[in-house]
Structure 1
Amino acid sequence: MKKISNELLKTYYWIMLLFTAFSISALVSFSIFLWRENEKDIQTVEKFIDYELSEFEYKEELKNLSDEELFKTALEEAPKIQDVYIEFFYRGKKYTRPPYLPDREHNFLDYYSITKTYQPKGYESIEVKITKRFAKNRLLILYTFGSFIFFLLVCLFIISRIQKRFSKKFENSLDKLKMFTQDYNLDSEIRIHNEENFIEFSILQKAFKNMLIRLKEQSQMQIDFVNNASHELKTPIFILKGYVDMLNDWGKNDKEVLDESLVILKKEIQNMQDLTEKLLFLAKSKNLVAEKNNISLDNALKEVIDNLSFAYPKQKINYISSEIFIDSDIALLKLLFKNLIENAIKYGKDNPINIELKKEKKVKVIIEDFGVGISEKALPHIFERFYREDEARNREIKSYGLGLSIVKEIIALLNIDIQIESQINKGTKITLQL
């Protein structure tokens, strides 16, 4: 908490530092501007003096004037600029006009002077001193700088107060959040505390609650998966154990018992192998990466159909082929087709199965059976792991409720659309769009 608060304070300090640098730059620029304006005032007077004294040489009427009258005229005609003083020094006398420049040593902060000497024809040397008083400008700059320092100190004080109040409020909210997270586990009833100081903490609490809910759901799904998998594995293991015991007791001398046991053992071992392969596939499906190559979709389907025809010799499969090549993962496609066609065989009530491969706007694979069908109620759940609409019927045909879960993973990985149409006791039609 202190680290967050200090980082916030550091941010404020950086802002103040940038503001200070900007203000000082503005103050320096303003000072330079005033200095240049003062220089312009002196230059204006200087140009007039240059012009005025040049007239001394060719204006005869000026030569008839006394020194006092001559310089009085020059001073009266000179530009009257605030805080600019003109002094003429001629034959040991000083000539000036009110307001008079203080007769003391002038410091460089408050006064700026230039002195020029002229030698008009017919006159002795004339010294001219032009002085600009900066006192008002200096006070303006000092007042501005002082106001800035005062404003900076006030800002620092306010920042310090804000930081302390923020830290205190933040600590209270953080302590509540800490208690909130420590007091809950996946089985806790989660209550959200409305946080008046920081609404973000209420949002964070809600996000934490949603996370716990999702974790609980996922945890429950994993528990269900393990329980279901354990339950499904128990059945073939129990059967294997039973027939092994029967072989041990009677099969050694009874050929009929031996032959029956070997057939059942082989069948259950195959079922157990199929179940294990499906479980392993689902366990690693999240890390699978499709290895796409240009393949013949027709050859892939024919290979799967041939293998299933060998495994189910009594099943009639009608296949309408088409020579189509696509870029895809052939191993995943074969596994997809095997699960869908095998489901059609298992639930087809020994009726023929129709499979068609065709190309329209998209490549389509249609698998249709005329068996038990799927109810409208069960249709949304068929991709869930271990879901079975009729437990007794699925036991009879050795279905574990994993085939369509595998299908779901593959179609998501290969970006395949699937459409399922089904009616009870009329059959199921599955359309894959690749």
Structure 2
Amino acid sequence: MKALSQTLKHISFGIICLFIFVLGISLSITGKYLINTSKLSLRNAMSFLKFEILEESSSKTFEIFNGDLIAELRDENVNLKDSEITIEYKNNFYSETENKNYLKYSVEDKVMNINNYGYIILKNNLVNKDGETFTVTLIKNLSVEKNFFFNMIYIFMFGLIICILISAITFNHLLNKVNQQLSLIENLNSNITLENLNLIRPTNYFKEFDHILDSYEEMLIRLDEQNKKQIEFVHNSSHELKTPLFIVRGYIDMIKRWGKSDPEILNEALVSIEEETNGMNLLIEKLLFIAKESEIKSNISEIELSEVVLGCISNLKFQYPNSNITFIPEYTILESDESLIKLLIKNLLENAIKYGNDKVINISINNISEQNKVILTIEDHGIGMKKDDLNHIYDRFYRANKSRSKNIEGHGLGMSIVKRILNILKVSIDIQSNLNVGTTVHLFFNLKL
């Protein structure tokens, strides 16, 4: 993992290198443009001389050698003003070039470079109206162009140095600000505990850190809620276990006092202790199931849904012999975990029995082949629930209509277990309930392909 400062240095170095590269390309293009412009200017000057000499007779052309014609020509063409002219005709020679050695670099009708583009030279043989041939050589001094080019280099270099300095100062300033923000976040971490999950928001220089702190704050809120739920879970669990233990202890004291001499009291105490023990055992099983949720692995196999439902009905008949359940089996094959499906249906069916007011409970299976779905419906006609209670039915130890269901046995963990199983098996559920009308539960399973 790279350090932020090292990453920023690499980015800055990359930007500077890119700037130098672009600068070099720009200077190269500018240099080529200046050279090509100068060459074009020299050729335009030569073309002008060629046109002028072609129209003149020999007598007029000879005026070149006394300089009068050259002055007239320079007034007519601006490209000749910064060019040195050399003209040869038989024994006549006219030259404005101080360094005659430059003439040896000339090549017919080709612009040549002298002294690393200190000068450029062009030579042509021009013929006048009388057919006489004059050798004309033009030399252009590129000192102005070179000075302009090097001035551009100096300006660019100066600008580059300024940019590097500004980048370095900006980089250090930015890095210091970022380090300050990171230090503030580290201090926040050291001050937060399970007992104190409140976030003291520091002053931020960057919106991005505000977003980080927003996410951090949301995480702390979730942790605080989970922490409170865990504490509430422990308190509720302790209470649910403490109550039957208190009852068991009371019956034990009763046995010690009167049970030895009164068989009826002894038998009543033993039955009650057995019931409370079974209740505690069931509660512990549910708590263990919730506690080991992350360790639960589904064992997928081929099961027949109607057989599972019939098995759940048969088991619950022993516990609730007065229950009235109607179910018409329909052959349906699923691929799922049989034990988890049994536990899922058992919890939902047990709730329907407990809160069904001893009225008939209808169970049905509806295969929807075109959607590759099967719907298991459990419908009771009992006390039902309010819409507000539906939002909390999956909360641990939550029991709707407490005033009316206080005499109904239960711990408020069944629907929490149902939710866990639904998540594990990826089964959808839909619950509809009306107060004093009843509750209908739809489970949506995928059919075996």
TM-score, length-scaled by structure 1 = 0.77
- SS at the partner of 1:129? strand
- Call closer, same or farther: CA 1:48–1:336 in 2, change over 3 Å: same
- SS at the partner of 2:139? strand
1:131 alignment partner, one of 139, 157, 164: 139
Instruction: Tell whether the 8 Å contact from 1:346 to 1:397 is kept in structure 2 after alignment.
Output: yes
- Call closer, same or farther: CA 1:131–1:209 in 2, change over 3 Å: same
1:151 alignment partner, one of 159, 164, 168: 159
- CA separation in 2, counterparts of 1:392 and 1:236? 21
Encode CA deviations 1:85-117: one digit per residue, 9 max, x unaligned.
Answer: 331245565314xxx444587744421225578
- Call closer, same or farther: CA 1:385–1:66 in 2, change over 3 Å: closer
Which amino acid is the alignment partner of residue 226 of structure 2? Q
Per the TM alignment, residue 335 of structure 1 is displaced from its structure 2 partner at its CA by: 1.4
Counterpart position of 1:278: 286
Counterpart position of 2:398: 387
Query: Is the aligned partner of 1:422 residue 2:430?
Result: no
Deviates more, 1:267-276 or 1:23-32: 267-276
- CA separation in 2, counterparts of 1:376 and 1:167? 54
Counterpart position of 1:85: 84
- Call closer, same or farther: CA 1:421–1:196 in 2, change over 3 Å: closer
Counterpart position of 2:34: 34
Per the TM alignment, residue 344 of structure 1 is displaced from its structure 2 partner at its CA by: 2.0
- Call closer, same or farther: CA 1:399–1:71 in 2, change over 3 Å: same
Per the TM alignment, residue 193 of structure 1 is displaced from its structure 2 partner at its CA by: 4.7
Counterpart position of 2:412: 401
**Structure 1 residue runs without a partner (length 5+):** none
- Call closer, same or farther: CA 1:202–1:126 in 2, change over 3 Å: closer
- Call closer, same or farther: CA 1:141–1:408 in 2, change over 3 Å: same
Which amino acid is the alignment partner of residue 312 of structure 1? Y
Which amino acid is the alignment partner of residue 27 of structure 2? L
Per the TM alignment, residue 401 of structure 1 is displaced from its structure 2 partner at its CA by: 0.8
Per the TM alignment, residue 428 of structure 1 is displaced from its structure 2 partner at its CA by: 3.5
- CA separation in 1, counterparts of 2:377 and 2:64? 123
- CA separation in 2, counterparts of 1:198 and 1:72? 75
Structure 2 matches for 1:194-273, cutoff 5 A? 195=203, 197-238=205-246, 263-264=271-272, 266-273=274-281
- SS at the partner of 2:365? strand
Instruction: Tell whether the 8 Å contact from 2:85 to 2:138 is kept in structure 1 after alignment.
Output: yes
Encode CA deviations 1:26-81: one digit per residue, 9 max, x unaligned.
Answer: 1112212222333344455667788999x79xx9x63x789666897996779762
- SS at the partner of 2:230? helix
2:342 alignment partner, one of 334, 354, 372: 334
- SS at the partner of 2:378? strand
Per the TM alignment, residue 6 of structure 1 is displaced from its structure 2 partner at its CA by: 5.5
Which amino acid is the alignment partner of residue 161 of structure 1? I
Instruction: Tell whether the 8 Å contact from 2:258 to 2:265 is kept in structure 1 after alignment.
Output: yes
Per the TM alignment, residue 141 of structure 1 is displaced from its structure 2 partner at its CA by: 0.9
Encode CA deviations 1:117-155: one digit per residue, 9 max, x unaligned.
Answer: 8999x9999764331221121122112212211222222
TM-score, length-scaled by structure 2 = 0.75
- Call closer, same or farther: CA 1:392–1:261 in 2, change over 3 Å: farther
- Call closer, same or farther: CA 1:355–1:70 in 2, change over 3 Å: same
Per the TM alignment, residue 218 of structure 1 is displaced from its structure 2 partner at its CA by: 0.6
Which amino acid is the alignment partner of residue 441 of structure 2? I
- CA separation in 2, counterparts of 1:124 and 1:381? 114
Per the TM alignment, residue 348 of structure 1 is displaced from its structure 2 partner at its CA by: 3.2
- CA separation in 2, counterparts of 1:143 and 1:168? 37
- CA separation in 2, counterparts of 1:330 and 1:189? 42
Which amino acid is the alignment partner of residue 385 of structure 1? R
2:174 alignment partner, one of 166, 171, 187: 166
- SS at the partner of 1:81? helix
- CA separation in 2, counterparts of 1:145 and 1:179? 50
Per the TM alignment, residue 21 of structure 1 is displaced from its structure 2 partner at its CA by: 0.7
Count of equivalent residues: 423
Query: Is the aligned partner of 1:11 residue 2:11?
Result: yes
- CA separation in 2, counterparts of 1:124 and 1:68? 14
- Call closer, same or farther: CA 1:65–1:167 in 2, change over 3 Å: closer
- CA separation in 1, counterparts of 2:86 and 2:151? 31
- CA separation in 2, counterparts of 1:189 and 1:290? 36
**Structure 2 residue runs without a partner (length 5+):** 103-114
Instruction: Tell whether the 8 Å contact from 2:427 to 2:443 is kept in structure 1 after alignment.
Output: no
- SS at the partner of 1:315? coil
